[in-house]
Amino acid sequence: MIAPSLLSAEFSALGEAASLAERGGADLIHVDVMDGHFVPPITFGSAVVKSLKKSTALPLDVHLMVSNPWQQAEQFLEAGADMISFHIEATPHPYVIYQRVRKAGRRVGISLNPMTPAEAIRDSLPYVDFVLVMSVSPGYGGQPFIPETLVKIETIRKWVEERGLTVPIEVDGGVTTKTIPSLKEAGAEIFVAGSAIFGAPDPMEALKTLKELTL
């Protein structure tokens, strides 16, 4: 599955970018929410997600890079987010958020930064619908891929299989035609791509090429 990240799209034309991604065969639309505290930049608010629902029928995959995921999750649920992930580093009480998002009938995921060990989310696996592994430091698009991410993905995939769970692994950061094959082999199933799509001369063609590599 390919999830184009709007963080790398033209901010004045997010609806058009989402529509283009849908026409190009995207599976999800990835929305990076940053609060200027957990990570330095400030990006999208819940009003953007509400507006995007008018531009695409694809599920909106909202990635909360925020210091107060409980409060933010409520806002984005109301705005229509279909999937919400948040960082294990941001809260000591992730289970409350898991329960709230699932109660709303949406998919919940847990995310972890490159320097956070996989062990940090091991106990969460039975309670989430997906795991989002950051393969670059969160906050900015266009960063180079951190190769040690592959071992982390392999480890999480092993735990998922040992427990007989259905928890796909999503990977965000440095996803390109060069990195998708190794990420797929490691066990990733959802690929977030920003610069590789919206920074390409022909974004739709770039998206199609990336998706072919995931099949």
In DSSP notation, 99-164 reads HHHHHTT-EEEEEE-TTS-GGGGGGGGGG-SEEEEESS-TT-SSPPP-TTHHHHHHHHHHHHHHHT
Per-residue pLDDT at 140: 67
Q: Which domains does the chain have, with CATH numbers?
A: 9-214 (3.20.20.70)
Range 161-167, long-range pairs (CB < 8 A, 24+ positions): 163/125, 163/126, 165/125, 165/126, 167/125, 167/128, 167/129, 167/130, 167/131
Q: In what order do the strands lie in the sheet with 188-193?
A: 2-4, 188-193, 169-172, 130-134, 107-112, 83-87, 60-65, 29-34
Does 128 score more than 90 pLDDT? yes
Per-residue pLDDT at 137: 86
Residue 35 among the catalytic residues: no
Greater confidence, 35 or 125?
125
How many percent of the chain have pLDDT more than 90? 91
Q: Kindly state the average pLDDT of the residues 98-113.
A: 97
Average pLDDT, whole number, for the chain? 95
This prediction's pTM: 0.95
Q: Which of 27, 61, 172, 202 is catalytic?
A: 172
Per-residue pLDDT at 41: 87
- The pLDDT-based confidence of 141 (bands split at 50, 70, 90) is low
Per-residue pLDDT at 82: 98
Residue 172 among the catalytic residues: yes
Q: Kindly state the average pLDDT of the residues 49-77.
A: 95
Q: Kindly state the average pLDDT of the residues 86-90.
A: 97
- The pLDDT-based confidence of 144 (bands split at 50, 70, 90) is confident
Q: Kindly state the average pLDDT of the residues 117-122.
A: 97
Q: Which of 27, 32, 82, 123 is catalytic?
A: 32
In terms of Cα–Cα distance, which of 103, 45, 126 is closest to 79? Answer: 45
Spatial distance between the Cα atoms of 170 and 145, rounded to a whole number of angstroms: 14
What are φ and ψ of residue 147, in 5° steps? -65, -25
Per-residue pLDDT at 71: 87
Does 111 score more than 90 pLDDT? yes
Contacts of 196 (CB under 8 A, 6+ apart): 175, 176, 177, 206, 210
3-class secondary structure, 43 = coil
Q: Kindly state the average pLDDT of the residues 103-127.
A: 97
At 155-212, the pLDDT tens digits run 999 999 999 999 999 999 999 999 999 999 999 999 999 999 999 999 999 999 999 9
At 8-49, the pLDDT tens digits run 999 999 999 999 999 999 999 999 999 989 998 889 999 999
